[in-house]
């Protein structure tokens, strides 16, 4: 393991201001060229552009136009790009390759719109994977990565930067590490902690049961619930069978009553460390380049079939060869922004202030305020520890 002090990585940034002579897409192309993407030899190389196609119903995913801009630059440099992602653990529009491609096309990621094909990296049922030894891995020795993603000669991450209900933030490493894992790889990353139900909060809406792909939710308990009318009703309440649960956490995300939470605090830290190690497996020993767009900065992942309003204003576009530095630059940029009114962030902040459980330092941490059970710094710290990259960066603005 390399413990030497790294020089700051270069992260290139441009805001979203445009004029009559240049669109945002032109600006994105100029940004990635200035950031040095042309230093990579793309000639006749297969280039995986790792992207999130967005769960049907979600509208905060990146527009396919951005993917087209990146694919155009890759082709201009002689490469053969394709858009890719791996199947999901949970019930939804991207659980198998057929539904996944349908979802991608519904959201506009057709070959006609993007100029390249869509390949689901872990195959029809999410079982087409390659085991990749993780350099300096502490939690994962062999990562299970989608086969097509590992077959590529070059990897480009094209990331929608946002909040995340388990990792704290969804950036480059989340896009690559969790997104690039096969279904078994996603299970391995999530398996550190399995959730349980606070039955006193459960209202028997059954949302958790509908989202569970593994039949792990049972409504085998009862409690009395006071209805808005004042009447008392006995309802069935949920519990989770940990023998069936894979720890994917989707039930946590869909519960509007905050009745479901991980069983122990270290789970989110271990998840973040595993995400970093999976990212290491994907980018080690081959060229990679990273692009993150901090726009429509929603509080939750694009895996949801809906999206809440952005928690801060749009910021801009980032590019770097370093996956850790680009995530840290995006984090710093978001934390420097004031919270937008009438958002999940401001509502959570008001709850914390009423409870008096927020110290001065945490009050300005938008990711912690929104999802206090998360531990986003652990991903950055572990990524540095295993030699994936550095959190020290030089921000170079491209005007």
Q: What is the pLDDT of residues 173-185, one digit of tens each?
A: 999 999 999 988 9
CB 171 within 8 A of CB 320: no
Q: What percent of the chain shows pLDDT beyond 70? A: 96
Of 235-239, 281-285, 350-354, the least confident:
350-354
Provide the pLDDT confidence category of residue 246 given band limits of 50, 70 and 90: confident
In the predicted structure, residue 282 carries a pLDDT above the cut 70: yes
In the predicted structure, residue 393 carries a pLDDT above the cut 60: yes
In the predicted structure, residue 265 carries a pLDDT above the cut 80: no
In the predicted structure, residue 91 carries a pLDDT above the cut 80: no
In angstroms, the CA 93 to CA 145 distance is 20
Residue with tokens 């110290």: 359
Which tokens sit at 178?
């969790």
Q: What is the pLDDT of residue 314?
A: 98
How is 290-317 classified by DSSP, letter by letter? Answer: EEEEE-S--SS-TTSSS-PPPSS---EE
In the predicted structure, residue 2 carries a pLDDT above the cut 80: no
In the predicted structure, residue 108 carries a pLDDT above the cut 70: yes
Q: What is the pLDDT of residue 190?
A: 84
Considering the entire predicted model, what is its pTM?
0.86
CB 224 within 8 A of CB 191: no
In angstroms, the CA 82 to CA 100 distance is 15
Provide the 8-state DSSP code for 59.
-
Provide the pLDDT confidence category of residue 266 given band limits of 50, 70 and 90: low
Mean per-residue pLDDT of the chain: 94
Provide the pLDDT confidence category of residue 1 given band limits of 50, 70 and 90: very low
Average pLDDT over residues 213-233: 93
In the predicted structure, residue 4 carries a pLDDT above the cut 60: no
CB 135 within 8 A of CB 284: yes
**pLDDT (tens digit per residue) in 320-352:** 999 999 999 999 999 999 999 999 999 999 999
- 339 CB-near residues (< 8 Å, 6+ apart): 311, 312, 345, 346, 349, 366
Average pLDDT over residues 292-321: 97
Average pLDDT over residues 300-328: 97
**pLDDT (tens digit per residue) in 31-82:** 999 999 999 999 999 999 999 999 999 999 999 999 999 999 999 999 999 9
Q: What is the pLDDT of residue 19?
A: 87
In the predicted structure, residue 3 carries a pLDDT above the cut 70: no
In the predicted structure, residue 94 carries a pLDDT above the cut 70: yes
């Amino acid at each position: 393991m390399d413990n030497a002090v790294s020089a700051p990585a270069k992260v290139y940034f441009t805001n979203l201001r445009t004029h009559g002579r240049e669109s945002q897409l032109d600006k994105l192309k100029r940004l990635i060229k200035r950031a040095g993407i042309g230093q990579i030899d793309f000639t006749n190389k297969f280039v995986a552009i790792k992207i999130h196609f967005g769960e049907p119903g979600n509208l905060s995913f990146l527009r396919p136009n951005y993917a087209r801009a990146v694919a155009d630059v890759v082709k201009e440099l002689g490469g053969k790009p394709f858009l890719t992602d791996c199947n999901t653990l949970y019930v939804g529009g991207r659980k198998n390759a057929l539904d996944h491609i349908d979802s991608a096309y519904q959201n506009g990621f057709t070959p006609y719109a993007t100029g390249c094909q869509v390949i689901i990296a872990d195959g029809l049922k999410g079982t087409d994977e390659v085991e990749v030894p993780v350099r300096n891995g502490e939690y994962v020795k062999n990562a299970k990565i989608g086969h097509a993603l590992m077959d590529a000669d070059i990897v480009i991450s094209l990331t929608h930067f946002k909040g995340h209900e388990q990792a704290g933030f969804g950036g480059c490493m989340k896009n690559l590490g969790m997104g690039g894992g096969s279904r078994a790889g996603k299970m391995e990353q999530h398996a550190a902690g399995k959730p349980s139900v606070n039955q006193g909060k459960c209202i028997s809406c059954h949302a958790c049961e509908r989202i569970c792909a593994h039949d792990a939710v049972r409504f085998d308990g009862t409690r009395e619930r006071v209805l808005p009318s004042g009447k008392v009703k006995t309802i069935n309440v949920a519990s989770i069978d940990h023998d069936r649960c894979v720890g994917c956490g989707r039930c946590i995300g869909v519960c509007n009553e905050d009745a479901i939470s991980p069983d122990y605090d270290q789970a989110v830290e271990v998840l973040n460390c595993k995400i970093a190690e999976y990212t290491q497996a994907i980018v080690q020993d081959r060229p990679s380049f990273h692009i993150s767009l901090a726009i429509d900065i929603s509080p939750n992942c694009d895996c949801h079939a809906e999206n809440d309003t952005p928690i801060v204003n749009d910021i801009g576009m980032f590019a770097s060869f370093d996956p850790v530095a680009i995530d840290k630059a995006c984090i710093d940029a978001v934390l420097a922004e004031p919270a937008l009114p009438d958002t999940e962030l401001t509502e959570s902040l008001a709850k914390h202030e009423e409870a008096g459980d927020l110290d001065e330092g945490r009050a300005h941490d938008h990711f912690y305020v929104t999802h206090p059970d998360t531990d986003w710094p652990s991903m950055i710290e572990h990524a540095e520890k295993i030699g994936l990259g550095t959190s020290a960066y030089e921000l170079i603005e491209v005007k």
